[in-house]
Amino acid sequence: MGPLIYIAIGLGVAVAVGVVISRKKQAEAERARRRDATVTGANVTNDITRVGKGGVLRLPPFGQSRTPIETHVTRRHRYRQDAGDPWYELVCEHGRRELLVEWSRSGGEVYVTGGFEDENPSLGDLMLTEDDLIAFDEGRRTGFEWDGVQWTLAEPPGERFYHADDRGAAEGYYAWEFRAPDESRYLSIEKWEGEADFEVYHLWAIDARGVEVYDAGAAS
């Protein structure tokens, strides 16, 4: 094989490497452009509390995910408990999966949790029954074990209220809320008025400082 062949091969490899590097730089530039873009309602200070329907978020890795998650907000709901501070739920799409992201304020801090709808356990998965929930109500039980974690009540069981799209008429439901010892995970068991079944939501703590807001959408 002559020297010209080696030169040609070397040039071909160099071109291929250059194409890969160029595509990588283009992808990085596009991500930076989306982060820096200022659109109507966009919040470049990464304040998740202003994000509404149509917003776009980039969440740091949580739960089973090892990479950041970019997601699109389809709805925003408000929740409250009697006279306490409200908290909010962002219903998001990530590919074909539904992702629920919740945030609340306590003093000057913002707390964020999230979980995929298709990863929620059932009441049976938790090895709990309605009688067990009554025992939590009556104070005869304060915790249980699931997924290798000892879960304890995070809040006294009681009635909560839901406002669809942040402004709808209040709908009531009853909730039992639990947390892991390190507060990295949360479980909410809910019984809605007029519904026979219990709903269970499994949420992971998300570092609010790592949330990036590309577009706040219809911010409130």
C-alpha Rg value of the chain to the nearest Å: 23
pLDDT in tens, 86-139: 999 999 999 999 999 999 998 889 999 999 999 999 999 999 999 999 999 999
Q: Of all residues in the chain, what percent carry a pLDDT higher than 90?
A: 69
Lowest mean pLDDT among 11-20, 145-154, 179-188, 206-215: 11-20
* CA-closest candidate to residue 161, choices 87, 67, 95, 104: 87
Q: What is the mean pLDDT of the chain?
A: 86
Task: Judge whether residue 9 has pLDDT over 80.
Answer: no
Alpha carbon distance 154, 183 (integer Å): 9
> What's 98's DSSP letter?
E
pLDDT in tens, 62-85: 998 999 999 999 999 999 998 778
Section 152-165 average pLDDT: 94
